[in-house]
């Protein structure tokens, strides 16, 4: 058995090691929590920016298509739809037009035929239909290049070198790249003006951000490819512009959801199952949107504040609080439907329906932080049925 001195020394050493381990564990848990928040914020930002970008491109394509259908058939009106359609499909357009000599050279490669065109895109003119084929050829060539090694083609030139030369010629002759350069030169002064406007923009209300973003989008909508053109302007405040669009898109989505909830009316012709499913679906969307905003509120709010973008609407005292309050309307509609069903039919399903109604009421109560007088009255009407009717 160890003497007391040595025993105490070992005990103290173990206590210190335990404390150090606990401190490391707490630090790692905090870092893990911060990383999870950051990942959630970035995912939400990417999702919102993609949705906003697709919405803008879709609007631009519709505007250009309507202009094209009106009778304008010159080359300048056709170039933008090609780029827009290629971008909507998520493809990087490198080569909208091939010279005849390049087509003849590509016969030796024999790339696979292009896939069928999407049915939702109307490509009635031959000049418009050529772009997807060129994109497919470019991809086939670059894919083949990685597998063909040092094999020699019929002309005695190594295939990789042949492919690289061909791809380089396609890129240099690409009408798409030419259009980007043309837009960069033509709109240079106007883009510098927009840069100054974005950098100096300050707002007192999120609705002002919506108006400003719509204006910026409209000013940039004439560019063949906004991202590609703006890359030629190093001073373009991309972080602030993207944050403005993110904030405007998030706010607009939440406001649209609030409007949908406040305008919801239960259709008496719907069956009980249909009615409660509609209400439950709205509540699920509401909870998901609110919870998503609350998860990223701290980090996103700090970024918005640094960029002078309104962020108070993300608080419970702002739009988020209004959304939680709007859920009481759904609770009332749900409980009224259950109450009406119990009063009309009752019977063997009474216990299950009562539990279903009370469970939904409890969910809303926890989500909203309580009931107002009108919702509480509706709940008491439901509660009376459980106390007035005998249990079966």
The structural domains of the chain, with segments of one domain joined by +, span 175-236, 251-388
30-83 per-position pLDDT tens digit: 888 888 888 888 887 887 788 777 777 777 777 666 655 554 444 444 344 444
Residue appearing with tokens 């990942």: 39
Mean pLDDT to the nearest integer, 107-121: 49
Residues in contact with 230: Cβ distance below 8 Å, sequence separation at least 6, in sequence order: 191, 220, 236, 238
Alpha helices (H) along the chain? 4-69, 75-88, 100-105, 126-145, 159-173, 175-186, 188-200, 206-220, 226-230, 238-262, 272-295, 297-306, 319-344, 350-368, 373-388
Q: Compute the distance between CA of residue 254 and CA of residue 287 in angstroms, rounded to an integer.
A: 11
Higher pLDDT, 289 or 387: 289
How high is the pLDDT of residue 384?
85
333-379 per-position pLDDT tens digit: 999 999 998 888 765 455 688 888 899 999 999 999 899 999 999 99
Residues in contact with 86: Cβ distance below 8 Å, sequence separation at least 6, in sequence order: 92, 93, 96, 131, 132, 135
pLDDT surpasses 50 at 102: no
26-37 per-position pLDDT tens digit: 888 888 888 888
Q: Compute the distance between CA of residue 348 and CA of residue 350 in angstroms, rounded to an integer.
A: 6
Q: Please provide the average confidence, as pLDDT, over all residues in the chain.
A: 76
Q: Compute the distance between CA of residue 192 and CA of residue 235 in angstroms, rounded to an integer.
A: 8
Q: Compute the distance between CA of residue 392 and CA of residue 385 in angstroms, rounded to an integer.
A: 13
Higher pLDDT, 193 or 137: 193
Higher pLDDT, 386 or 119: 386
Report the range out of 98-102, 341-345, 383-387 with the highest average pLDDT. Answer: 341-345
Nearest Cα residue to 286 out of 314, 325, 249: 325
Residues in contact with 125: Cβ distance below 8 Å, sequence separation at least 6, in sequence order: 73, 78
- Residue 366 to residues 325, 332, 371, Cα–Cα distance (Å): 11, 15, 9
Using CB atoms within 10 Å of the CB of residue 40, give its burial: 0 to 12 exposed, 13 to 18 middle, 19+ buried: middle
CA–chain centroid gap for 172, Å, is 34
The model's pTM is 0.55
How high is the pLDDT of residue 240?
95
pLDDT surpasses 60 at 219: yes
Higher pLDDT, 284 or 2: 284
Show the tokens assigned to 50. 């993609």
pLDDT surpasses 50 at 293: yes
DSSP-based three-state secondary structure for 152:
strand
| pLDDT bucket at 275, cuts 50 / 70 / 90 | very high
pLDDT > 70 in the chain, percent: 66
pLDDT > 90 in the chain, percent: 42
How high is the pLDDT of residue 212?
96
- Residue 35 to residues 25, 85, 314, Cα–Cα distance (Å): 15, 37, 21
pLDDT surpasses 70 at 116: no
How high is the pLDDT of residue 169?
60
């Amino acid at each position: 058995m160890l003497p007391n001195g040595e025993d105490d020394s070992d005990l103290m050493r173990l206590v210190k090691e335990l404390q150090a381990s606990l401190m490391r564990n707490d630090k790692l848990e905090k870092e893990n929590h911060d990383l999870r928040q950051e990942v959630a914020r970035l995912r939400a930002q990417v999702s919102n920016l993609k949705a906003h970008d697709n919405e803008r491109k879709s609007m631009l394509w519709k505007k250009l298509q309507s202009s094209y259908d009106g009778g304008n058939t010159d080359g300048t009106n056709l170039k933008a739809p090609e780029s827009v359609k290629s971008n909507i499909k998520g493809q990087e357009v490198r080569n909208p037009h091939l010279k005849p000599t390049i087509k003849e050279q590509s016969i030796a490669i024999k790339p696979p035929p292009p896939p069928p065109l999407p049915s939702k895109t109307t490509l009635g003119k031959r000049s418009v239909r050529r772009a997807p084929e060129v994109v497919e050829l470019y991809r086939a060539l670059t894919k083949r290049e990685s597998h063909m090694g040092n094999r020699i083609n019929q002309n005695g030139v190594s295939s990789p070198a042949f492919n690289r030369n061909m791809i380089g010629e396609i890129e240099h002759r690409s009408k798409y790249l030419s259009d980007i350069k043309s837009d960069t030169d033509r709109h240079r002064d106007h883009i510098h003006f927009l840069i100054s406007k974005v950098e100096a923009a300050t707002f007192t209300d999120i609705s002002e951000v919506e108006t400003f973003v719509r204006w910026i989008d409209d000013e940039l909508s004439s560019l063949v490819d906004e991202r590609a053109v703006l890359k030629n302007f190093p001073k373009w405040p991309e972080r602030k512009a993207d944050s403005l669009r993110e904030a405007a898109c998030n706010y607009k989505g939440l406001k649209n959801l609030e409007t949908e909830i406040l305008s919801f009316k239960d259709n008496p012709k719907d069956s009980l199952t249909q009615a409660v499913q509609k209400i439950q679906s709205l509540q699920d969307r509401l909870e998901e949107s609110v919870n998503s905003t609350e998860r990223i509120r701290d980090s996103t709010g700090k970024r918005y504040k640094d960029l002078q973008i309104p962020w108070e609407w993300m608080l419970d005292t702002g739009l988020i609080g209004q959304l939680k309050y709007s859920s009481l309307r759904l609770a009332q509609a749900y409980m009224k439907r259950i109450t009406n069903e119990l009063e009309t039919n009752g019977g063997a399903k009474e216990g299950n329906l009562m539990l279903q109604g009370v469970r939904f009421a409890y969910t809303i109560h926890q989500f909203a932080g309580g009931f107002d007088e009108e919702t509480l009255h509706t709940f008491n009407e439901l509660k009376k049925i459980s106390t007035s009717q005998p249990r079966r």
